[in-house]
Amino acid sequence: MSSTFSRRRFLSTSLLFAGGVVVAGCGSDPKKAPGVKVTLNQWYHAYGEKGTQEAVKRYAAEYTKANPEVAINVSWVAGEYETKLNSALLTDAAPDVFEIGDFRHQMVKNGHLAPLDDVLGSAKGEFSRTALDLVTVDNKIYGIKMIDDIMMLYYRKSVLAAAGVTPPRTFAELLAAAKKLTTPKQKGLFVGNDGIGDVPYLLLWSAGGDLLDGNKVAFNSPAVREAIGGLRQLHDAGVLLEGFSTDWYDPGAITQNAAAMHWCGLWALPAISKELGDDFGVVPWPAFTSSGTPAARLGGWYELVNAKGKHIDEAKKYVQWLWVRQEELQKDWCVKYGFHVPPKSGVAAKTTEFSAGAARDAVEISQKYSHSFPSLWNTATGTAFGEAAAKIAKQKADPAAALADAATRVQAEIDKQLG
């Protein structure tokens, strides 16, 4: 997999931590710089795109230039990020400021996170409800979004037109389109090499369902059972591309004409545009029925503040400066080293890269139809739900029985987290 896509690969399982420390802001040892009274330690996972490391060093240096009493140590690391972060938060070596892709309710329960409502302030209305809900616990907000990574359905305009197919608006239209677009040389739809991918979640959301209602399982309902059954219909129809040379997060399936429609992320749009020109479009996952709602999955990264750090107020001021107030730096971070929607709606509206075409459509999808996993949703709950969906789709398991079993397992995990 090329480094272009390494930043996004694990949007549903945290990326990664590893190695050395890069000091930014005040030379090789910012603590010794004249006038420095506070040194903040900031952690990033090792982004794959060229230029990201230099960018965060520059941001830190700009902050210190404007605030000479505060230096920033930037730690640039790769490997098992979430594991090492959780371990560090139990020690005196914990960072003051850090990022995370998968927000965990447990981090709040353990007292590791400082609430950031005061950091957002009047800018709260510029962040989507989806982005805020994920990091809200007991009506307090614990994270500031850094980038929005929206996942959506790409399609080949010319291929659909040749088959007399329009971009689907309902699941029935999607199924019919995938059948017409499937030929001996091309499949109608690619959602991942396992033929499952995000589809169980998309079907659930597009049918008006949800994973949880507060702290209780909400997916074991007749409407959701019917919707998840749609995945079996796709498999039975033989329209899904499986076992391709790259997985869903890489645009190879659509650019190499292996699939006419491809579930992928915004990060792939520049590469698709380079290969296909304007012969593609993007839409959300279609509504399950005409009374349903289109859906898309929103990923990305958040900045957080260590509640047990020695410089909480200074850390909050830095986070506010960078991710709330510095709109030019936010645009720089989102589109100069990759391709992501700036989380603040006002910044996204002023980012020229999203002013037209499929990129503009992607922003609309992000703002209108996006969903995120709940903060109580973790690897164990995702595994239980995913296994049930796979049994329904591939083993023809009874949806009611499979989802009931998953609901029992998920509720037990939720109760365990809540303690």
What is the CATH number that goes with domain 150-297+374-418?
3.40.190.10
User: Does 273 score more than 70 pLDDT?
Assistant: yes
User: CA–CA separation, 168 vs 14, rounded Å?
Assistant: 32
What is the CATH number that goes with domain 3-148+300-352?
3.40.190.10
Contact 183, 296 (CB under 8 A): no
Contacts of 292 (CB under 8 A, 6+ apart): 170, 171, 206, 207, 208
Q: Provide the residue ranges of all domains of the chain, joining segments of one domain with +.
A: 3-148+300-352, 150-297+374-418
CA distances from 412 to 197, 397, 401 (A): 24, 22, 17
pLDDT per residue as tens digits for the range 77-132:
878 888 889 999 999 999 999 999 989 999 999 999 999 999 999 999 999 999 99
User: CA–CA separation, 371 vs 130, rounded Å?
Assistant: 6
What pLDDT is stored for residue 33 in this prediction?
Answer: 64
User: CA–CA separation, 405 vs 251, rounded Å?
Assistant: 35
Of the candidates 64, 77, 70, 67, which has an alpha carbon nearest to the alpha carbon of residue 25?
64
Which DSSP string do the residues of 349-411 spell out, in sequence order?
A: HT-GGGSSHHHHHHHHHHHHHEE---TT--HHHHHHHHHHHHHHHHS---HHHHHHHHHHHHH
Which DSSP string do the residues of 305-359 spell out, in sequence order?
A: EBTTSS-HHHHHHHHHIIIII-HHHHHHHHHSSS--B-SSHHHHHT-GGGSSHHH
Q: Taking residues 339-360, what's their average pLDDT?
A: 96
Contacts of 401 (CB under 8 A, 6+ apart): none
Q: What is the CA radius of gyration of the chain?
A: 22
Report the mean per-residue pLDDT for the chain: 91
What pLDDT is stored for residue 79 in this prediction?
Answer: 84
What pLDDT is stored for residue 80 in this prediction?
Answer: 85
pLDDT per residue as tens digits for the range 32-53:
567 889 999 999 998 888 999 9
pLDDT per residue as tens digits for the range 133-142:
999 999 999 9
What H or E segment, with its residue span, contains residue 145?
strand 144-155
User: Does 18 score more than 70 pLDDT?
Assistant: no
pLDDT per residue as tens digits for the range 212-260:
999 999 999 999 999 999 999 999 999 999 999 999 999 999 999 999 9
Q: How many helices (H) and strands (E) does the chain have?
A: 17, 14
Identify the DSSP state of 80.
Answer: S
CA dihedral 360, 361, 366, 369 (to 10 degrees): 150
Residue type, 55: A
User: At CA 230, angle to CA 226 and CA 232, rounded to 5?
Assistant: 115
The percent of residues above 90 in pLDDT, for the chain, comes to 86
The reply to whether domains 3-148+300-352 and 150-297+374-418 share a CATH topology is yes
Tokens of 285: 């996952």
pLDDT per residue as tens digits for the range 57-89:
999 999 999 999 999 999 988 788 888 899 999
Q: Taking residues 321-325, what's their average pLDDT?
A: 98
Burial class (CB in 10 A: 0-12, 13-18, 19+), 350: middle
Q: Taking residues 149-166, what's their average pLDDT?
A: 97
Identify the DSSP state of 79.
Answer: S
CA distances from 142 to 42, 301, 314, 375 (A): 16, 13, 16, 11
Give the SS3 label for residue 53. helix
What pLDDT is stored for residue 11 in this prediction?
Answer: 42
Tokens of 266: 């915004």
Contacts of 55 (CB under 8 A, 6+ apart): 332, 333, 336, 337
What pLDDT is stored for residue 322 in this prediction?
Answer: 98
pTM above 0.85, yes or no: yes
Angle between helix axes 379-394 and 199-206 (nearest 10 degrees) is: 90
pLDDT band for position 175 (cuts 50, 70, 90): very high
Burial class (CB in 10 A: 0-12, 13-18, 19+), 237: middle
